[in-house]
Amino acid sequence: MTETLLALLPIYGVYLLAVLIAISCFGVPFPTAMLVLAAGALAASADLVLWQVIAAVTIGFVIGDQGVYALARRAGPGLLARMRTAKSSAATVARAEKLLNRRGTLAIFLSRTVISPLGPYVGYISGAAGLGWARFTMASVPAAVVWSSFYAALGNAFAAQLSATSALLGNAIGLASSITVMLVSALWLRRSWARRQASTHKR
């Protein structure tokens, strides 16, 4: 798929980029990082224009993010209500909502930059758990600017080593995301177990 999408890039240019980025915000696994790197690289050879690439990616990103938030806002509360009553997920949902309220801004910013594979999930959760629109947008728009500029500029700077840059960056982002999930879930489990210990000691 990467090759096919890449081949469309010089033809449809930044419009294609904006549309694909917006769709990928919903969790569709397009190779967006590679596409933006390649667009940055094509700007280095004057086939595209760098500022237009950054603008298109940012606009696509913001539109997609708003779409995810709006969708989750509408469909989410019903689903969450059901998960809250289900025994397997009730405790998890309650804690996730609390954590999101406390650390929401940071979670939204990081999940759109350093740990971007988690972006769609955090977007859906934010909308469903009723995180304020203004708070979501204030974190997601700057993150979109940072992500777009970083990938386009990196592709532009390392235009001649595109596949190496893409492979290394992709795996590094994957590593950062897995480590984040591992640490957060480990802390979560430890607290849960500690609370249980405390409550049995009291008895």
Partner 1 sequence: MIRAVRYLSRRQPLVLAAFVISTACTGYFGVKVWRNAVYFSDPVHRATPISGWMTPGYAAMSSGVEPAALLQALELDPSVRRGGRTLSEIARSRDVPVSELLDEVESILAEERSGG
Q: How far is the CB of 3 from partner 1 (least distance, A)?
A: 6
Nearer of residues 63 and 181 to partner 1, judged by Cβ: 181
Which of the 8 DSSP states describes residue 27?
Answer: T
Q: Could you give the angle at which helices 162-202 and 32-44 cross, rounded to 10 degrees?
A: 150
Q: How far is the CB of 166 from partner 1 (least distance, A)?
A: 9
Nearer of residues 51 and 193 to partner 1, judged by Cβ: 193
Nearer of residues 66 and 166 to partner 1, judged by Cβ: 166
Do residues 22 and 60 make contact, with C-beta atoms less than 8 angstroms apart? yes
Q: How far is the CB of 134 from partner 1 (least distance, A)?
A: 29
Q: How far is the CB of 66 from partner 1 (least distance, A)?
A: 27
The per-residue b/e assignment along 58-87, b for 16 or more CB within 10 angstroms, e otherwise, is bbbbbbbbbbbbeebbeebeeebeebeeee
- CA–CA distance, 189 with 65 (Å, rounded to integer): 30
Q: How far is the CB of 24 from partner 1 (least distance, A)?
A: 19
CA nearest to 135, candidates 94, 161, 103: 103
User: Which stretches of the chain bind partner 1, using CB under 8 A?
Assistant: 3, 6-7, 9-11, 13, 38, 41-42, 44-49, 88-89, 91-92, 159-164, 167-168, 171-172, 174-175, 177-179, 181-182, 185-186, 188-189, 192-193, 196
- CA–CA distance, 86 with 135 (Å, rounded to integer): 29
Q: In terms of C-beta density within 10 A (0-12 exposed, 13-18 middle, 19 or more buried), how is residue 10 classed? A: middle
Nearer of residues 44 and 71 to partner 1, judged by Cβ: 44
Nearer of residues 74 and 161 to partner 1, judged by Cβ: 161
What tokens were used for 74?
A: 């509408």
Q: How far is the CB of 96 from partner 1 (least distance, A)?
A: 9
What tokens were used for 143?
A: 């993150």
Nearer of residues 42 and 108 to partner 1, judged by Cβ: 42
What tokens were used for 146?
A: 């940072």
